[in-house]
Amino acid sequence: MLERTGGVIRDYGFVARSRWRSIRIGSTPPDPGTGLAAPVLLIPGVFETWHYLEAIGDRLAAEGHPVHFLQRLGLNRNPIEETASLVREHLEELDLRDVVIVGHSKGGLIGKQLMTVEDHEERIARLIAINTPFPGSPLARYAISAWREFAPERPVIRSLAQATEVNGRIVSIFSAFDQYIPGSSRLEGATNVQLPLVGHFRVLEHPLVLDEVARWAAEPRH
């Protein structure tokens, strides 16, 4: 119990640092770069800026991936379906193909929506989701505003749960304890990677997560 409590406290320390970076550094993400590995698009969670995924972006850029952040998402408060359409437009505008999507929390749901509904040209090779509430989160029933979208009975959550045909191209990486997802981020038919970590946010800079993301981003498309 003490380990979990300490982990959750440190989790919110990461949130505070990420918020501060968004003020100190500003809202403009780095350029994608010219790496020759598969292009990567990073999608943060709800009320998160691209700064939350900065450590992952730095690691993937060092591995030779062009890393794209979608600045127009802002704090990612819009509905999942609407945001997936924005991401598709971005991929088409830049003509990106064999793309690896890396999404945190809501970002993983947006990635799956994109794969199941929006990706008519099959531009996406794989989704790497981190602490994503694929079955929804019962805590969302008591939340405010944009968080309510994650309630298990919400249409978009139920629709995504039924769309199993893309699960084989999804890697779900998740903490052993996540205070926002009481059940699990385990997704049937996907590659599930549970790590001995605590928390929802701080894992985004943990070496174990960075290693797993880099490993799966480098996997060839099947």
175 to 42, 119, 142: CA distances (angstroms): 19, 29, 23
Distance CA 113, CA 220 (A): 22
List alpha helices for the chain, DSSP H: 2-25, 54-62, 80-93, 106-113, 155-162, 207-217
Contact 112, 129 (CB under 8 A): yes
Contact 110, 84 (CB under 8 A): yes
**Model confidence band, residue 8 (pLDDT cutoffs 50, 70, 90):** confident
H or E, element range at 42: strand 40-43
Share of the chain above pLDDT 70, in %: 95
CATH number of the domain that 146 lies in? 3.40.50.1820
Which residues, listed in sequence order, are joined to residue 175 by a DSSP beta bridge?
195
**∠ Cα 186 189 192 (to 5°):** 40
Long-range (24+ apart) CB contacts under 8 A made by 136-141 are 136/161, 137/180, 137/181, 137/182, 137/183, 138/182, 138/183, 139/180, 139/182
* 65 has pLDDT over 90: yes
pTM over 0.75: yes
Residue 50 CB partners (closer than 8 Å, separation 6+)? 29, 42, 44, 57, 69, 70, 71, 73
Q: What is the pLDDT of residues 183-211, one digit of tens each?
A: 899 999 999 999 999 999 999 999 999 99
Q: What is the pLDDT of residues 126-175, one digit of tens each?
A: 999 999 999 999 888 887 777 788 899 999 999 999 999 999 999 999 99
Output the pLDDT for position 25.
55
Q: What is the pLDDT of residues 69-89, one digit of tens each?
A: 988 888 888 999 999 999 999
Q: Which domain holds residue 126?
A: 1-30+37-218
Domain total for the chain? 1
